Amino acid sequence: MTRRQAYNAAALGAALLLAALFPVLVPNGAFETVAIFTLIYIAMASAWNILGGYTGYVSLGHAAFFGVGAYAFTILCKAWNVPAGWVTFLMLLAAGAVAGILAIPFGWIALRARRHTFVVITIAYLFIFQLLAYNLTNLTNGSAGIGAPIPPWMGSSFNIPFFYVALALAVAVIVLSALIRRSRFGLSLLAIRDDEDRALGLGIPTGRLKLTAFVIAAIFIAMAGALYAYYVTFIYPQYAMNPLDDLSMALMAFLGGVGTVAGPVIGALIVEPSQQYFTIAFQSGLNLITYGGLFLVVILFIPRGLWPTIRDALKARAERVRAQSAVEPPAEATRLSAKGGSS
Amino acid sequence: MVLTLKDIYAGYGGADILRGVSLTVEQGSLTCIVGPNGAGKSTVLRTISGVIRPRRGLVQFGGVTINGFSPRRILEMGILQVPQERSLFPQLTVQENVRLGGFILKDTRLVERRLGAVMERFPLVKERAKELAGSLSGGQQKLVEFARCFMLDPKLILLDEPSMGLDPQTFKQVFAMVREIHAEGVTVLMVEQNTKSGLEIATHGVVMEGGMVRLDGPSQDVLHHPRIGQLFLGGTLTMAK
Q: What is the pLDDT of residues A175-203, one digit of tens each?
A: 999 999 999 999 999 999 998 888 888 88
Distance CA A133, CA A47 (A): 23
Chain A interface, best mutation among B88, B98, B103, B160, by max A CB count within 10 A: B103
Distance CA B27, CA A293 (A): 64
Contact B192, B207 (CB under 8 A): no
| CA A35 centroid distance within chain | 15
Closest alpha carbon to A148 in A217, A69, A220: A69
Q: Report the Cα–Cα distance between both ends of chain B, in Å, rounded.
A: 32
Does the pLDDT of residue A340 top 60, yes or no? Answer: no
Q: Which of B81, B83, B100 sits opposite A191 (nearest CB)?
A: B100
Closest alpha carbon to A65 in A217, A218, A210: A218
Convert the pLDDT of each residue in A41-86 to its tens digit.
999 999 999 999 999 999 999 999 999 999 999 999 999 998 888 9
Rounded to whole angstroms, the maximal C-alpha distance in chain A is 100
Cβ pair A204:B103 closer than 8 A: yes
Cβ pair B91:A194 closer than 8 A: yes
Cβ pair A203:B72 closer than 8 A: yes
| CA B187 centroid distance within chain | 10
Q: Which of A191, A200, A204 sits opposite B92 (nearest CB)?
A: A191
Distance CA B41, CA B31 (A): 12
User: Distances in Å between the alpha carbon of A178 and those of A54, A194, B103, B209?
Assistant: 11, 19, 20, 53
A86 DSSP 8-state letter: G
Does the pLDDT of residue A330 top 80, yes or no? Answer: no
Residue of B nearest to A191 (CA): B89
Chain B interface, best mutation among A193, A194, A197, A319, by max B CB count within 10 A: A194
Q: Which residues contact A231 (CB under 8 A, 6 or more apart)?
A: A36, A151, A162
Does the pLDDT of residue A338 top 60, yes or no? Answer: no
Q: Is A198 on the interface with B (CB under 8 A)?
A: yes
Across B211-218, average pLDDT: 90
Confidence of residue A342 (pLDDT cuts 50, 70, 90): very low
Query: Taken in order B194, B196, B200, B202, is the CA torsion positive or negative?
Result: positive
- A154 burial (CB, 10 Å; 0-12 / 13-18 / 19+) is exposed
Give the DSSP H/E element, type plus range, for residue B64: strand B64-65
Distance CA A334, CA A328 (A): 9
What pLDDT, on the 0 to 100 scale, is given for residue A286?
Answer: 74
Geometric angle at alpha carbon B180, from B175 and B181, rounded to 5°: 100
State what percent of residues in chain B have pLDDT above 90: 40
Helices (H), A136-261: 137-140, 159-182, 184-194, 196-201, 206-232, 237-240, 243-256
One-letter identity of residue A276: Q
Cβ pair A184:B108 closer than 8 A: yes
Q: Is B71 on the interface with A (CB under 8 A)?
A: yes
Distance CA B31, CA B24 (A): 9
State what percent of residues in chain A have pLDDT above 90: 57
Does the pLDDT of residue B226 top 80, yes or no? Answer: no
Which residues does chain B have within 8 Å of residue A202's beta carbon, measured at their own beta carbons?
75, 100-101, 103-104
State what percent of residues in chain A have pLDDT above 70: 94
Closest alpha carbon to A190 in B90, B186, B211: B90
Share the mean pLDDT of chain A.
89
SS3 A136: coil
Q: Count of CB atoms within 10 A of residue A91's CB?
A: 24
Which residues does chain B have within 8 Å of residue A194's beta carbon, measured at their own beta carbons?
89-92
What pLDDT, on the 0 to 100 scale, is given for residue B237?
Answer: 45
Convert the pLDDT of each residue in B11-40 to its tens digit.
887 788 999 999 999 999 999 999 888 889
Contact A50, A224 (CB under 8 A): no
Closest alpha carbon to B190 in B51, B31, B43, B35: B31
Distance CA A113, CA A119 (A): 9
What pLDDT, on the 0 to 100 scale, is given for residue A322?
Answer: 82
Confidence of residue A281 (pLDDT cuts 50, 70, 90): confident
Convert the pLDDT of each residue in A149-178 to its tens digit.
999 888 888 999 999 999 999 999 999 999
Exposure of A239 in the CB half-sphere (CA atoms within 13 A): 13
Cβ pair A202:B92 closer than 8 A: no
Which residues does chain A have within 8 Å of residue B103's beta carbon, measured at their own beta carbons?
184, 188, 202-204
Contact B158, B82 (CB under 8 A): yes
Q: Is B46 on the interface with A (CB under 8 A)?
A: no
Contact A243, A122 (CB under 8 A): no
Q: Is A208 on the interface with B (CB under 8 A)?
A: no
Chain A interface, best mutation among B89, B111, B145, B148, by max A CB count within 10 A: B89
- Chain A closest-CA separation from residue B69 CA (Å): 13
SS3 B141: helix
Judged by average pLDDT, the poorest of A180-189, A218-227, B83-92 is B83-92
What pLDDT, on the 0 to 100 scale, is given for residue A327?
Answer: 66
Q: Is B87 on the interface with A (CB under 8 A)?
A: yes
Does the pLDDT of residue A225 top 70, yes or no? Answer: yes
Between A268 and B239, residue with greater pLDDT: A268
Across A316-332, average pLDDT: 74
